[in-house]
């Protein structure tokens, strides 16, 4: 889905992202003793840092998968895998991402680390079955604007946007 084809826009503030990442940490704290976190870059970096702090985890690795430019999703490309977590198929590891959308990235990361626990802040219906834990579900036609991608500016009321006024 591209941003331009989306009817719904959901801006996320830094405070909201922090609160939701902390809520995700609460969900994960009793799951098992975690070996570490694998953050899916770039979107998973900030939530992973918050969750690592809350769970007192120091071992953080990354999986680098590129599937978006600003405007739309495209074919996913693996730019960097992980060796430490892959040694035992991800058993005992947390995979953290900001969002599961269509599931293209999640499928790739799941193949790399099939025994890891995959957790995201946001989940859309198409990708939701691919993650083990998430905090908020949004509709498939919603474009989430993360705080690192937006600046403060005037926004039209939803009713005006919806009617095209």
What is the residue range of 49's domain? 8-163
Predicted local confidence at residue 85, as pLDDT: 73
Residue 92 domain-assigned (yes or no): yes
Q: How many folded domains does the chain comprise?
A: 1
Residue 1 domain-assigned (yes or no): no
The residues near 119 (Cβ < 8 Å, ≥ 6 apart) are 24, 27, 28, 51, 94, 95, 96, 97, 131, 132, 133, 134
pLDDT digits (tens, 9 = 90+) for 49-95: 999 999 999 999 999 888 766 556 667 788 887 887 778 899 999 99
Q: How confident is the model at residue 163 (pLDDT cuts 50, 70, 90)?
A: confident
pLDDT digits (tens, 9 = 90+) for 99-120: 999 999 999 999 999 999 999 9
Q: What is the pTM of this model?
A: 0.84
Predicted local confidence at residue 74, as pLDDT: 66
Residue 2 domain-assigned (yes or no): no
Looking up residue 115, the CATH number of its domain turns out to be 3.40.50.2020
Measured in residues, the chain has a length of 165
Q: Which residues are catalytic?
A: 97-98, 101
């Amino acid at each position: 889905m591209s941003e331009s084809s989306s009817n719904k826009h959901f801006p996320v503030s830094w405070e909201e992202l922090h609160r939701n990442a902390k809520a995700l940490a609460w969900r994960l704290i009793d799951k098992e003793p975690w070996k570490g976190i694998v953050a899916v870059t770039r979107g998973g970096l900030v939530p992973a840092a918050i969750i690592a702090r809350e769970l007192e985890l120091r071992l953080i690795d990354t999986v680098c998968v590129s599937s978006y430019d600003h405007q739309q999703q495209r074919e996913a490309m693996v730019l960097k895998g992980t060796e430490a977590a892959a040694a035992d198929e991800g058993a005992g590891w947390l995979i953290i991402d900001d969002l599961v959308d269509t599931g293209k990235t999640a499928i790739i990361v799941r193949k790399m680390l099939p025994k890891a626990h995959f957790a995201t802040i946001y989940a859309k219906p198409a990708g939701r079955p691919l993650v083990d834990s998430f905090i908020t579900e949004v509709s498939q036609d919603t474009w989430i604007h993360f705080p690192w991608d937006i600046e403060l500016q005037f926004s039209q009321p939803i009713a005006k946007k919806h009617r095209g006024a």
